[in-house]
Structure 1
Amino acid sequence: MKEEGMNVPSVLFICTGNTARSQMAQVLLEHHGAERFRVMSAGLEPGEVNPLTRQVLEERGLPTGHLQAKGVRPLLGEHFTYVITVCDRAEQNCPIFPHASYRLSWAFPDPAAAQGSEEERLAVFRQVREEIEAKVQSWVQVGA
C-alpha cells in the first residue's frame, strides 16, 4: 500500500480486534468515499470478523466478502495519509506509524461487548453502524 505516484489519500482504521468497528468504518468509507480513498483496517489483537458486523453492513447492501481481520504490525512501515483509531483502547495502545500524515481518534462503543439476545445485540451493532456512518459522512463532506 505504498503511495507510489497516487494522489488518493490512504486511510487505515484501527481497533482492538479488527472484528467490528474498524471493519464497519472501512466498508462505510469505501462506500461514501466513492473511490476517493484507499481504505484498510487492522487490529492490535486481530480476531475473526464478527458475523453481526457482516450482517449489519449487508443489510445496507454493502459488500463484506473482502473483509478479514488483520494485525497492525505488518503495516507499520506503510505510508498512510490518515491513521484513525475507532476505540479508546486502540488509541491508548496504537503503535507509532512513522509515515502517517495524520492520526485521528474516533471512539465508538464496542458492539461485540453487547449482552442479551441476538436481536438485542444486533440492535447495538446497528446503532454503532449508524454512529460510524454519520462520522464517516461528515468527515468526507468536510473534505478529509
Structure 2
Amino acid sequence: MKNVLILCTGNSCRSQMADGYLAHFAKEKATIYSAGIETHGVNPKAVAIMKQDGIDISQNTSNNVSEYLDIDFDFIITVCDHAHENCPYIPSENAKRIHQNFSDPSKVTGSEVQIFNAFKKARVQIKSFCEDFVAAELD
C-alpha cells in the first residue's frame, strides 16, 4: 500500500476534493492524507460540490502538514502554486513529488451561480487529475 500526501495552502478545498477522489479511485491501493501549510477548516462548498458527485468528504478534517512528518510518503502532490513554493521540508526522501496547480474556487466572488461554477470547474479538473494519477501511478 502506498502513502499519498495531498498538500495545499489551507487544506480546506482543493486538497480536500483531491483527498475524496483519490480515496475513491485508489481504494485499498493507497492511504490518502491531505494537509495544508496552514489550516482553514473544510470548506462547506467543497463538501457540497463533492456530495453532488457521490463523494462524501463531510467528515474530513483540516490538518497541518507538520502532523505527518513521521510518515514515509511514496507521493507528495501539491495542488496549488503557493504550497508548492512554500512547502516546508517533508522528510520522505524517496517520495515522488508531483505538482498540479488548480485555481482556488474559494477565492471567486460574484453571484452564487458564478461561485458554484468555479467549484464545479475545480471539481471536474481535480477528478480528472486524480483518476489519471491512480491509473498511472497505482495500477
Q: Same fold (TM over 0.5)?
A: yes
Q: Residue deviations 1:3-47, cap 9 Å, x none? A: xxxxx0010101000010000000000111122110010111111
Q: Helix, strand or coil: the match of 1:95?
A: coil
Tell me if 1:39 matches 2:35. Answer: no
Taking structure 2 as the reference length, the TM-score comes to 0.93
Shift of 1:48: 1.4
Tell me if 1:120 matches 2:114. Answer: yes
Distance 1:77 1:64 in 2: 24
Q: Note if contact 2:16-2:57 (Cα within 8 Å) is conserved in structure 1.
A: no
Mind listing any 5+ residue stretches in structure 1 that lack a counterpart? 1-7
Mind listing any 5+ residue stretches in structure 2 that lack a counterpart? none
| Percent of residue pairs bearing the same amino acid type | 34
Tell me if 1:12 matches 2:41. Answer: no
Match of 1:71 among 37, 55, 64: 64
Tell me if 1:132 matches 2:132. Answer: no
Q: What residue is the counterpart of 2:100 in the other structure?
A: 106
Q: Helix, strand or coil: the match of 1:83?
A: strand
Distance 2:68 2:137 in 1: 25
| Aligned residue identity for 1:55 | A
Shift of 1:77: 2.6
Question: What is the root-mean-square deviation of aligned Cα atoms in Å?
Answer: 1.1
Q: Helix, strand or coil: the match of 1:133?
A: helix
Shift of 1:106: 1.1
Q: Note if contact 1:17-1:44 (Cα within 8 Å) is conserved in structure 2.
A: yes
Q: Note if contact 1:77-1:97 (Cα within 8 Å) is conserved in structure 2.
A: no
Q: What residue is the counterpart of 1:50 in the other structure?
A: 43
Q: Note if contact 2:5-2:35 (Cα within 8 Å) is conserved in structure 1.
A: yes
Structure ranking higher in helix proportion: 2
| Aligned residue identity for 1:127 | K
Moved over 4 A (4+): none
Q: What residue is the counterpart of 1:3 in the other structure?
A: none
Tell me if 1:84 matches 2:71. Answer: no
